Amino acid sequence: MSSPLAQGLLGERVSARQLIAVLDDHDLIGLRDGTPVLGEGGYLAESPWSFNGKTDFIELALITDVLRMLMPASDATAPEVSSYSLKHTAEWFLRPHCSYVSNGRLIWAAAALGLRLAAPDEAGSNLLVGVSERGHDYVRRMVSPGGSRPQADHYRPAGFTHLQTALAKATAGESATARWVQPTPVDQTAPFHDWLIRQVDRDDIISDLASDYAAGIRLSHHRIAHTPDELLAIFHEISHSPEAYDSVVSAIAEWMRTVPSAAPVRTERTGGDAHGHEGWGAGAGTIERVEYRCPCGDGEIIEEHDNVPGFREHDVRLDCDRCRVEWRFVDGRDVRNWGLEPVVGRVTV
Ligand SMILES: [Zn+2]
């Protein structure tokens, strides 16, 4: 019990007394008429516990830390993650500190931690555990051999990196990391993201885009688009059909009509340079050029600043035949602050 791994890496360490009390008194997995309900194989499993008396407690403490990292599901959600699936995730995550995690120990640790448990009909030996389904899916895919790795981290549990680091340090024989402080949740509102998700139920190309986008978020294939700019950037990062671009433009056009105060679109900077110019007889100056990707990605937006005495000009233009038809610069902004909006009437139903 003196092992650093048994001290609770993400919170108070679970005590032996807590663990024993759960096997006696828990509503679902405590003794029933004096008979154990939980065994090594899980709920109502015949298999007795097989303790070795050496690493049992450390292993239970580590399993508790994995479950703690996964965070409780909201009370509004019924427990939905199978203990059997969780036991594999815990096993992969804890390797090599814990090479085998039994179904029974996973359920035991979950109960000791106070996570909600449910026995579905036909439960067999597996119970459903009230941890975040999204968070678990993320962790499982990060640690499972041959899993498809998440490409974005919006579902990464807050304690994931700390626990991984702490275990890696223990493996290397280094002393423990500083105590983990759970970050205060930041209220990150994302009105554009929320709006786009809500378009799933319509019946047009915007709903097709919204469905693809929602699936991409759910499966962590890409990050959250807080703004139309981010949606365009994500769109260029992932594979898509050529037609899909039309739905992106339509969605942005509708968003900007729905929310007139929405910021115009800016795109990613791709290059540029500045060089001195000897001038036209009234002294030297500079010529600066900045390049951005055009919205469709096939051309450029070019910003030019001539700062030569007697010849000062600031100009921005769309160097793309397609985008010149589909986008226009918002009036009243200075050149360095250019912003684009879709040409009105672009919305296709
Ligand atoms: Zn273009």
Task: Measure 326 CA to ligand 1 centroid, in angstroms.
Answer: 9
Task: Measure 268 CA to ligand 1 centroid, in angstroms.
Answer: 13
Task: Measure 263 CA to ligand 1 centroid, in angstroms.
Answer: 20
CA-nearest of 111, 69, 74 to 90 is: 69
Mean pLDDT of the chain: 90
Grouping H, G, I as helix, E, B as strand and the rest as coil, residue 257 is helix
Distance CA 116, CA 28 (A): 10
Task: Measure 198 CA to ligand 1 centroid, in angstroms.
Answer: 28
Task: Measure 293 CA to ligand 1 centroid, in angstroms.
Answer: 8
Task: Measure 245 CA to ligand 1 centroid, in angstroms.
Answer: 11
Peptide bond into 309 cis (omega under 30): no
Distance CA 163, CA 159 (A): 6
Position 349 scores a pLDDT of 43
Tokens representing 282 are 């009234």
Distance CA 205, CA 182 (A): 41
Task: Measure 333 CA to ligand 1 centroid, in angstroms.
Answer: 21
Task: Measure 344 CA to ligand 1 centroid, in angstroms.
Answer: 17
Distance CA 168, CA 247 (A): 45
In the chain, what is the greatest distance between 2 CA atoms, to the nearest angstrom?
102
Position 284 scores a pLDDT of 86
Task: Measure 136 CA to ligand 1 centroid, in angstroms.
Answer: 40
Using DSSP bridges, classify how beta strands 285-293 and 81-82 pair: parallel, antiparallel or unpaired: unpaired
pTM, two decimal places? 0.80
Which percentage of the chain shows pLDDT scores above 70?
A: 97
Position 177 scores a pLDDT of 67
Distance CA 250, CA 202 (A): 14
Position 37 scores a pLDDT of 92
Compute the average pLDDT of residues 15-30.
Answer: 93
CA distances in angstroms from 161 to 69, 131, 165, 260, listed in the order given: 10, 18, 6, 40
DSSP state letter for 73: P
pLDDT digits (tens, 9 = 90+) for 244-282: 899 999 999 999 999 999 999 999 999 999 888 887 777
Task: Measure 299 CA to ligand 1 centroid, in angstroms.
Answer: 5
pLDDT band at 2 (very low <50, low <70, confident <90, very high): low
pLDDT band at 348 (very low <50, low <70, confident <90, very high): very low
Name 273's bridge partners. 289
Task: Measure 335 CA to ligand 1 centroid, in angstroms.
Answer: 19
Q: How far is CA 251 from the centre of its chain?
A: 23
Task: Measure 294 CA to ligand 1 centroid, in angstroms.
Answer: 5
Distance CA 335, CA 232 (A): 21
Position 236 scores a pLDDT of 92
Task: Measure 323 CA to ligand 1 centroid, in angstroms.
Answer: 4
Tokens representing 48 are 């007795």
CA distances in angstroms from 159 to 55, 68, 70, listed in the order given: 24, 8, 8
pLDDT digits (tens, 9 = 90+) for 285-327: 899 999 999 999 999 999 999 988 888 889 999 999 999 999 9
Distance CA 63, CA 61 (A): 6
Length in residues, the chain: 349
* Alpha helices in the chain, H assignment, sequence order: 16-25, 56-70, 83-94, 103-112, 133-143, 160-171, 191-198, 205-218, 228-237, 244-258, 321-326
CA distances in angstroms from 229 to 193, 238, 265, 316, listed in the order given: 12, 15, 6, 18
Distance CA 22, CA 328 (A): 66
Supply φ then ψ for residue 180, to 5 degrees. Answer: -80, 130
Task: Measure 227 CA to ligand 1 centroid, in angstroms.
Answer: 19
Task: Measure 324 CA to ligand 1 centroid, in angstroms.
Answer: 7
Q: Identify the residue whose tokens are 């998440």.
A: 150
111: left (phi over 0), alpha (psi -120 to 50) or beta: alpha
Task: Measure 325 CA to ligand 1 centroid, in angstroms.
Answer: 9
